[in-house]
Amino acid sequence: MDILLEIRNFLTSFDNKVYLIPLDGDTLTLYYRKDILNALNLTVPRTWNEYNDVAKAVHN
């Protein structure tokens, strides 16, 4: 599967250096800090609705 060049560059490069080459078009990754989630008694979101709820809780 070909990946649109602009999307590929946005997702795989920084400062004109390539850091990874995706094998397919699905390159979404969620990084989180366990200490912050634990301190706020939150769990890792598994849906977009949960993600929005966690984001609001973290940034309030």
Within a domain: residue 38? yes
Residue-wise pLDDT for 17-54, tens only, equals 888 876 666 667 788 999 999 999 999 998 989 999 99
User: What value does the mean pLDDT take over residues 6-19?
Assistant: 81
Within a domain: residue 35? yes
The total domain count for the chain is 1
Contacts of 22 (CB under 8 A, 6+ apart): 3, 8, 11, 12
Q: Which residue has the higher pLDDT, 15 or 24?
A: 15
Within a domain: residue 11? no
- Domain enclosing residue 44, as ranges: 24-60
Report the pLDDT value the prediction gives residue 1, as an integer from 0 to 100. Answer: 46
Within a domain: residue 16? no
Report the pLDDT value the prediction gives residue 42, as an integer from 0 to 100. Answer: 97
Within a domain: residue 58? yes
Within a domain: residue 50? yes
